[in-house]
């Protein structure tokens, strides 16, 4: 099992080094919980969402990532950015392998279009669900909803 607070420490260090002070980055992990699964797998899923939030948010923007409880007793990893956003017609396709919204413009942001496919794959291995909400030029919310039976409460 993976302690969410430990994961968050690593994610925040990586996020800050990637952003190099260009964004306001906030991490909140109030619940003491662990997720069943491997460290590397969860780091890559959560990390990919955070890397996207940084990559698709202009300088001066804000990125928040949180761990919180779901209404049904599960747990949610949530990332919010104040970036470029995603037009609604693209949202259903962005988790496909190699799909990128604006190929010409995203060339200089240098991805391959695999990040979200990995996130979705890891989520499905945990019976977790990836949710995406976004508004163009306002920002995006990505969240991974873990069912209760994948979590361990810590004291």
Where does this chain bind ligand ATP (CB under 6 A)? 48, 52-53, 56, 81, 83-86, 94, 99-101, 106, 111-117, 140
Residue number, 78 or 152, with CB nearest to Mg ion:
78
Name the DSSP letter for residue 17: H
105: its two tokens: 């413009």
Tokens of 41: 């797998």
Residue 140 CB, shortest distance to ligand ATP, in Å, is: 4
Q: Which among 106, 141, 133, 125 has a CA at the least distance from the CA of 37?
A: 125
| Shortest distance in whole angstroms from residue 105 CB to ligand ATP | 9
Q: Least distance from C-beta 34 to Mg ion, angstroms?
A: 26
One residue of 115, 119, 120, 144 binding Mg ion per CB under 5 A: 115
Q: Does 19 interact with Mg ion (rule: CB under 5 A)?
A: no
For every residue of 102-138, DSSP letters joined together read -HHHHGGGT--S-HHHHHHHHHHHTT-EEEEEEETTT
Identify the bridge partners of residue 135 per DSSP, sorted by sequence position: 139
| Residue 113 interacting partner from Mg ion, ligand ATP, none (CB closer than 5 to 8 Å by kind) | ligand ATP
Binding site for Mg ion (CB under 5 A): 52, 111, 115
């Amino acid at each position: 099992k993976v302690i969410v607070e430990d994961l968050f420490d690593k994610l925040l260090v990586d996020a800050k080094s990637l952003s190099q002070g260009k964004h306001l980055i906030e991490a909140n992990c109030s619940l003491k919980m662990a997720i069943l699964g491997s460290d590397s797998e969860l780091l890559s899923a959560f990390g990919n969402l955070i890397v996207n939030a940084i990559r698709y948010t202009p300088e001066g923007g804000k990125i928040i990532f949180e761990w919180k409880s779901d209404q049904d007793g599960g747990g949610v990893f949530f990332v919010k950015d104040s970036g470029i956003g995603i037009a609604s017609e693209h949202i259903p396709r962005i988790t496909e392998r190699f799909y990128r919204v604006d190929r010409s413009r995203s060339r200089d942001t240098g991805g391959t279009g695999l990040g979200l496919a990995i996130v979705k794959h890891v989520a499905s291995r945990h019976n977790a669900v990836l949710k995406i909400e976004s508004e163009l030029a306002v920002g995006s919310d990505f969240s991974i909803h873990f069912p209760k039976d994948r979590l361990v409460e810590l004291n």
